[in-house]
Amino acid sequence: MITTDKTAKEIFFEVMANPQRVPFGFGNKAVLINVDPQKAYTRTDLYTTAYETDPNQLDYVNQLARGFRKLGWPVVWTHVAFLDSAEDAGVWGTRTDTPDSLQNIKYGSDRAAFDERVEIEPGDVVYTKRMPSAFFETPLQSLLVWHQVDTVIVTGGSTSGCIRATAVDSLSRGYRTIVPMECVADKHESYHYANLTDLHLKYADVMNVADVLAWLEARASDKA
């Protein structure tokens, strides 16, 4: 095992600067999966479980969503919520039992509600999930097959949890997977950058959101 005194952030930017990384690249058609931009995880002014990495994260997510809708491509939003009994949280909900605990994000609660800043349109797809990956026990895979997408773009949080799980499941299903770095967040920068590094090296293309937006704009120009 290699040891180092460098921070996770320093290692991440070294990896991103490595010209030898061969990207998976964009395919022909993409889906945008916005993972859990709900108040429990975005409203740092209200909940201790919330986090923020880039203050413009949700604005970037909205820009991506507009670009996808312009192309007629699917936009998906997920959020976490559980039954009052929390039995659908399974063993994941057994470590703690406080008002901030995961399994106490109840259906219809403020913590389960999407952040008011995200722009969800009537034609978008909304799924409730109970485990880290947006693919796990949701209709997401069927949706992607129907739309014949080959590329998955993932935003939301947390980088070390639900983003990583969704990205790994995406690649495992054969999709080119892209994570715009300004569009994901975590509680601590060490978790955030360590997982971005691992994602970029193994499972996804971690990119600047500006490059993703530019690709969408180019596709829209081609379609016009």
**Active centre residues (catalytic):** 162
Neighbours of 7 (CB within 10 A): 13
Q: CA–CA separation, 213 vs 155, rounded Å?
A: 13
Q: CA–CA separation, 104 vs 102, rounded Å?
A: 5
Residue with tokens 């991103």: 16
CB 205 within 8 A of CB 167: no
Q: Which amino acid is at 45?
A: D
Classify strands 184-185 and 205-207 as parallel, antiparallel or unpaired.
unpaired
Q: Is the dihedral of CA 196, 198, 199, 205 positive or negative?
A: positive
Closest to 59 measured CA to CA, from 177, 160, 155: 155
Q: CA–CA separation, 10 vs 7, rounded Å?
A: 5
